[in-house]
Structure 1
Amino acid sequence: MSDETYTLKTEDSLLTYSAQAVVKVLDSLTVLAGASYSGTDYERESSDLGPASFDYNGEVSYRGGLTYEFLPGLNGYVSYSESFMPQRRRDVNGTPLKPLIGEQKEVGVKFAPPGGRSLFTAALFEITQSNKPEFDQTTPLGDAYKAVGEVRHRGAELEAIGRVADRWEVHAGYAYLDAEVTRNPEAPEMVGATITYLPKHTASIFTTYEVLEGFSVGVGARYVAAVNTTYDDSIKDLPAYTIVDATASYALRNWRFQLNVHNLFDEKYYINTYETVYYGNVIGEPANVSVSARYEF
């Protein structure tokens, strides 16, 4: 066993300026425009790697959007935004990965029927990211990562929130995600591969009912589709799972007492919190109960 000790001291800073404006051009048309500037620098002292200093060029990011009211309560929108985020994860040399740069495009509709009892939304989106981190190996200085050249996420989201009746509320949602590698000069064979640890389908539904004045019960389910754990399918997927939760609450004056039951049927499922098979997968939370009391002043 080696007694050699490694030390690593880092210091990084991020400076951001931003501005945004929302202008109502017409009674039914609203325009959003904004920009931000971010710059970062990094210094390292290491007994093993030696000192180093990195000053990444600053980046200007833009965002904009249009919202149009077609009918009372029915709005359509389009949006575009850019992002620039320095990364704390480092490569095998102790150097931080290049900043994560993103671009998002989205189009959707929102409908709130007159009376304010419900809200329905639908959206299509595309997100492109450069320098997405991926676990590489473990080193004496900690885990090391490498950047995937460029990844793209395309998908759709549906959501419905509302009161079915005076005492009955429902919240339902569904999301579809198609995520793949679109560019990787260091590993061209990865292009077209599905990004790991991202489920293609997720869905949820939760409903609550007020049985008596102040006393409500609820039940719901969450579905997560299977996810792949490697780009080349050399290791089996994490299987899909469905979890059922339940709740009961009672409100009395300024007090609210609540009982939550998670994983009601004790479903056995697996998750990965490190986004790598190096550390393995873990079993999700078994059936458990929590009780809380809250007082509002």
Structure 2
Amino acid sequence: GYENFVTVNGATVLGEQGNLRRNERNLMWNLDPYLQTTWQLTDKLSLDAGMRFSSVYFDSNDYYIVGKNGDDSGSASYHKWLPAASLKYAVNDGWNVYTSAGRGFETPTINELSYRDNGAAGLNFALQPSTSTTVEVGSKNRVGNGLFTAALFQTDTDNEIVVDQSGGGRTTYKNAGETRRRGLELSLDQQFAADWRLKMAWTYLEATYRTNVCGVNDCRDNRMPGIARNMGYASFGYAPEDGWYAGADVRYMSDIQADDQNDAKAPTWTTVGLNTGYKLHVRQNWLLDIWGRVDNLFDRDYVGSVIVNEGNGRYFEPAPGRNYGVGVNLSYSFQ
């Protein structure tokens, strides 16, 4: 890493590569041996189960040791047993219901370890992995020429890794105690009259803090920033295997909180896209697909992403306006 400026005749020139400020080699690797098995308990009832032992190792070698900037080298390792199981019951040939449960394990990434809060030197080895327990019940049912799925889920997480501070291009992270995500997912993929296809999906997700991560200003039960409560998608189009195809899609996102205090949020948005193209089978195994699409058809202004807990209150990043894309895909099928 370098300073983003140089000094010329006593004047500061921004946007130029300056003096070296950071030089290090970071290595992260993991080893995950696992066992899994399936039992057909009856003609209609089956059980899938598995166990994984996850080990993640991180090592940093600091080569920038100048003056008061000392050696910030270090290493860390994380280990966890992760069981999972799912029980499925086939009501008939086209309909099954299931329940599943499992443990999850998320270690800090290199970026999350890179900085400590308040500008302190060295890597953030105080950051611990988060562990989660997820329970889900659901159903998958074939309806005509399509598939309808529904799922209810809940995930409880300890030591959730969340944004602590963000400012000046640097983001630091912390463990947030306990969090909970619970919600519902619905989807439909339906084919009509051979080549007409409808896809619909909706997710409701309630993600909240279960412990106070904000110090004096208690934010227990607040919504977690950066996560929408409702997300929807629908598309409809003509999609034959050969020749012209075309379609339209609609995307919906509800408001997103931008900070732990829930004092700022990005508003709800909906966008529309159109696509068309031509598929041509060349000889027997080659497929040529020439396509084009337009996104954000009505040129709506909306927030594309948020910078969580940005120190200066500059939380929001704009999404592109109306934009276009064209492309060519060439694929080969082995038979």
The 5 Å alignment of 1:191-270 reads 191-210=220-239, 214-235=243-264, 237-253=265-281, 254-270=287-303
Q: What is the SS of the residue equivalent to 2:261?
A: coil
| Partners of 1:112 and 1:179 in 2: CA distance | 31
The 5 Å alignment of 1:107-256 reads 107-113=137-143, 117-137=145-165, 142-184=170-212, 187=215, 189-210=218-239, 214-235=243-264, 237-253=265-281, 254-256=287-289
Matched, 1:295 2:296: no
Moved more, 43-52 or 216-225: 43-52
Query: How has the CA–CA distance of structure 1 residues 185 and 169 changed in structure 2, closer, same or farther, with 3 Å as cutoff?
Result: closer
Structure 1, unpaired ranges of 5+: none
Q: What is the SS of the residue equivalent to 1:183?
A: coil
Hey, which of these two has a bigger chunk of strand by percent? Answer: 1
Query: How has the CA–CA distance of structure 1 residues 44 and 229 changed in structure 2, closer, same or farther, with 3 Å as cutoff?
Result: same
Moved more, 140-149 or 32-41: 140-149
C-alpha deviation, 1:242, in angstroms: 0.3
Moved more, 59-68 or 45-54: 45-54
Give the root-mean-square deviation of aligned CA atoms: 2.7
The answer to whether the 8 A contact 1:38-1:60 is kept is yes
> Once the two structures are superposed, what CA deviation does each residue of 1:234-276 show, in whole Å capped at 9, x if it has no partner?
33x1010001011112122232211111111111111225434
| Partners of 1:222 and 1:248 in 2: CA distance | 18
Q: Normalising by structure 2, what TM-score?
A: 0.79
The answer to whether the 8 A contact 1:49-1:94 is kept is no
Aligned to 2:8: none
- Tell me how many residue pairs correspond in the alignment: 294
Q: Normalising by structure 1, what TM-score?
A: 0.88
C-alpha deviation, 1:5, in angstroms: 3.5
C-alpha deviation, 1:49, in angstroms: 5.5
Q: What is the SS of the residue equivalent to 1:63?
A: strand
| Partners of 1:140 and 1:240 in 2: CA distance | 28
C-alpha deviation, 1:69, in angstroms: 0.6
Aligned to 2:3: none
The answer to whether the 8 A contact 2:84-2:100 is kept is yes
| Matched AA of 1:18 | Y
C-alpha deviation, 1:150, in angstroms: 1.7
The answer to whether the 8 A contact 2:165-2:310 is kept is no
Aligned to 2:6: none
C-alpha deviation, 1:54, in angstroms: 4.6
The answer to whether the 8 A contact 2:223-2:262 is kept is no
| Partners of 2:253 and 2:207 in 1: CA distance | 15
| Partners of 2:301 and 2:169 in 1: CA distance | 35
The answer to whether the 8 A contact 2:78-2:107 is kept is no
| Partners of 1:287 and 1:140 in 2: CA distance | 30
Moved more, 50-59 or 144-153: 50-59
Query: How has the CA–CA distance of structure 1 residues 54 and 3 changed in structure 2, closer, same or farther, with 3 Å as cutoff?
Result: closer
Query: How has the CA–CA distance of structure 1 residues 3 and 164 changed in structure 2, closer, same or farther, with 3 Å as cutoff?
Result: closer
The 5 Å alignment of 1:46-57 reads 46=62, 47=65, 48=69, 50-51=71-72, 53-56=74-77
Aligned to 1:39: 55
The partner residue of 2:87 within 32, 51, 66 is 66
| Partners of 2:298 and 2:155 in 1: CA distance | 36
| Matched AA of 2:137 | V
C-alpha deviation, 1:103, in angstroms: 1.5
Query: How has the CA–CA distance of structure 1 residues 121 and 49 changed in structure 2, closer, same or farther, with 3 Å as cutoff?
Result: farther
| Partners of 1:261 and 1:145 in 2: CA distance | 37
Structure 2, unpaired ranges of 5+: 1-11, 13-17, 282-286
Query: How has the CA–CA distance of structure 1 residues 180 and 101 changed in structure 2, closer, same or farther, with 3 Å as cutoff?
Result: same
Q: What is the SS of the residue equivalent to 2:71?
A: coil
Matched, 1:82 2:103: yes
| Partners of 2:43 and 2:159 in 1: CA distance | 42
| Partners of 2:321 and 2:259 in 1: CA distance | 26
| Matched AA of 2:138 | G
| Partners of 1:16 and 1:140 in 2: CA distance | 37
